[in-house]
Amino acid sequence: MTNTSIALTLIGGPTILIEVNGFRLLTDPTFDPPGLYQTAPVHFEKLTGPARSIEEIGILDAVLLSHDQHLDNLDRAGRAMLPDVPVTLTTKAGSERLGGNAIGLMPFEAYELEKPDGRRLSIVAAPARHGPIGIEPISGDVIGFLIGLHQPGDCCYVTGDTVWFDGTAEVARRYTPKVVVPFAGSAEPRGRFHMTMDSNDVLSLAAAFPNAVIAPAHNEGWVHFKESAEDLEQSFSTLGVSRRLTALVRGEPVQLAV
């Protein structure tokens, strides 16, 4: 088995260009400029624009869309680009709303991408819960994604918008990805509870995947994030495990061995 690398380029927020074995994937497309987009029932105010434009990103093999119902995961410009992508993998409910090239996956359901030369990449949907127990009727369905290079889930796990719960723990029991990308930031758009991973959640994730590189995302660019990348680094440093974190820098590819 030859050594392979994965390149992660943070575009902004939850939007990451993933390049592995000739495949180019994009998570949760958000390309709108900064501004106030919604005040009720949830306050969505964007602070920074994308590090790369849609045109600069170029041709994609697939969009991995954790959910379509929130502007910080799929904004207007991101929605407009979806018809130009071969396939958009998302939740079952999201695929029904989006139509077109969208394919809905249930947790642990698999989809395979294939190149004309026979190269394959497996995508497995991972369970996600966008907030505390009981939040589902409010937040809606969400999934994460497990990218498999040699076998299912061995390459990269993108959590999507979720907290640490039984579903993410089950992912750790089933799969051993080399890279884990938690959507962190402790998002608090309403109420006092967080709807994405806070430092405690990411620490639990790191413990559950002891051999994986932890490369957090979705913890900058929006007003409703209550924890920054620096806050997360301080938490890991306090416990003496800062070596587990790998920072994603906006617009700069980070190469990791898989």
Which tokens hold the place of 246?
């790998």
Residue 158 lies in a domain: yes
Which tokens hold the place of 258?
């898989």
Residue 82 lies in a domain: yes
Residue 258 lies in a domain: no
- What tens digit of pLDDT does each residue of 191-225 get? 678 889 999 999 999 999 999 999 999 999 888 88
In angstroms, the Cα distances linking 123 to 25, 79, 98, 144, 234 are 11, 21, 20, 10, 33
At residue 190 the predicted structure's pLDDT band, cuts being 50, 70 and 90, is low
- What tens digit of pLDDT does each residue of 58-96 get? 999 999 999 999 999 999 999 999 999 999 999 999 999
pLDDT number for residue 1: 41
Distance between CA 253 and CA 258 in Å, rounded? 15
CATH number at residue 138: 3.60.15.10
Residue 47 lies in a domain: yes
Distance between CA 90 and CA 98 in Å, rounded? 10
pLDDT at 97 over 50: yes
Residue 215 lies in a domain: yes
Distance between CA 77 and CA 79 in Å, rounded? 5
Number of domains in the chain: 1
Range of the domain at 205: 5-253
Reference 30, options 54, 8, 9; nearest CA is 54
